Amino acid sequence: MINVPHKILLVFLSIILFTGCKDDDSDNNADDPKAENRRSLGTSAEELLSDDTFKSMTVELVYAPNYRPKQESIDSFKDFILARVNKPDGVTFIETEISNQPNAPFTIEEIRNIEDLNRTQYTVGDDIAVYVFFSNGSSENDTSTSVTLGTAYQNTSMVVYERTLQQITLDEPEILPILESTTLHHEFGHLFGLVNIQEDDIHPGGDHEDLDHLKHCIIEDCLMYFEANNVTRIMERARSRAQVADLDPLCIADLQAKGGK
Ligand SMILES: [Zn+2]
Ligand SMILES: [Zn+2]
């Protein structure tokens, strides 16, 4: 029996702006089939959104037994992606079941190592691949007052702390899909470059970037609002309207400027 303090947790979704560069021997990139998928967060925004370079996308969901997200969350994630990307040859979801990964809670380095060992889909030809790990352990950054729900940490890589999501919804399992979907959509928004992650926002100076919470949106109802991730807020949304926050028009305009829909 695991005791988690819930409902009062200040929960945040985090982003990692720069990769650890442990594979920073870029001269060898031409020979490394994984190099395309080992760049900094936000650098593949245009590649993910437009059909200029990549005509299709493969999204790999990786999880240990008992940590597969709800089917409705997967469906909602698909809808979210399809609504934004121009991929004439389609978006394919692949699921890979792995064993429980040891040494939880995980540092982001450990999350990267899990990816190295278990990711099977890499960008090849005109298909761009995205990796999503549904973690069987929490983030090592969690404290008694805050937990991390998800992190976008590389150009095509993100983690959802599924075990944490399951724990904080133990009393209200009907809210789990809203938490899963919000985390998936919000972190993919960071892969799309939101907000102003590579400082190439079409809005001058990233004028809808929240300067108190960088790389997030100032519009309160927006998916990319930093508090879109506050558990109390998500749960209130879930109870009242049972829906995940959408992107506001400014964020959508940024995506369209990079070839999205
Ligand atoms: Zn965020
Ligand atoms: Zn926004």
List the beta bridge partners of residue 124.
127
| Helix runs in the chain, H state only | 45-49, 71-84, 108-118, 162-168, 176-191, 231-240, 249-257
Q: Is residue 261 part of a domain?
A: no
Output the CA 194–ligand 2 centroid distance in Å: 8
Q: Is residue 82 part of a domain?
A: yes
The CATH number of the domain holding residue 63 is 3.40.390.10
Q: Which ligand is nearest to the CA of 17?
A: 1
Residue 41, number of CB atoms within 10 A of its CB: 26
Residue 147 is predicted with a pLDDT of 86
Output the CA 190–ligand 2 centroid distance in Å: 11
Structure tokens at 208: 């809808």
Output the CA 120–ligand 2 centroid distance in Å: 32
- pLDDT means per 10 residues, the chain with 261 residues, are 43 60 48 92 97 98 98 98 98 98 97 98 98 97 87 97 94 90 95 91 73 89 79 72 85 95 95
Residues bordering ligand 1, an ion, CB closer than 5 Å = 13
Residue 20 is predicted with a pLDDT of 43
Residue 129 is predicted with a pLDDT of 98
Q: Is residue 2 part of a domain?
A: no
Residue 114 is predicted with a pLDDT of 98
Output the CA 244–ligand 2 centroid distance in Å: 14
Residue 226 is predicted with a pLDDT of 84
Residue 23 is predicted with a pLDDT of 45
Structural domains in the chain (count): 1
Q: Which ligand is nearest to the CA of 214?
A: 1
Output the CA 252–ligand 2 centroid distance in Å: 7
Q: Which ligand is nearest to the CA of 209?
A: 2
Please report, as a single letter, which amino acid is at residue 242.
A
Residue 190 is predicted with a pLDDT of 96
Residue 24 is predicted with a pLDDT of 44
Q: Is residue 221 part of a domain?
A: yes
Three-state DSSP class for residue 117 = helix
Residue 217 is predicted with a pLDDT of 92
Q: Is residue 246 part of a domain?
A: yes
Residue 115 is predicted with a pLDDT of 98
Give the structural domain span for 66.
Answer: 10-25+32-255
Q: Is residue 3 part of a domain?
A: no
Query: What is the C-alpha separation between 245 and 81, in angstroms, rounded?
Result: 14
Nearest Cα neighbor of 46 from 182, 202, 208 is: 202
Q: Is residue 260 part of a domain?
A: no
User: CA–CA distance from 30 to each of 16, 26, 33 (Å)?
Assistant: 25, 8, 8
Q: Is residue 39 part of a domain?
A: yes
Query: For strand 127-134 and strand 91-97, is the pairing parallel, antiparallel, or unpaired?
Result: unpaired
Output the CA 27–ligand 1 centroid distance in Å: 32
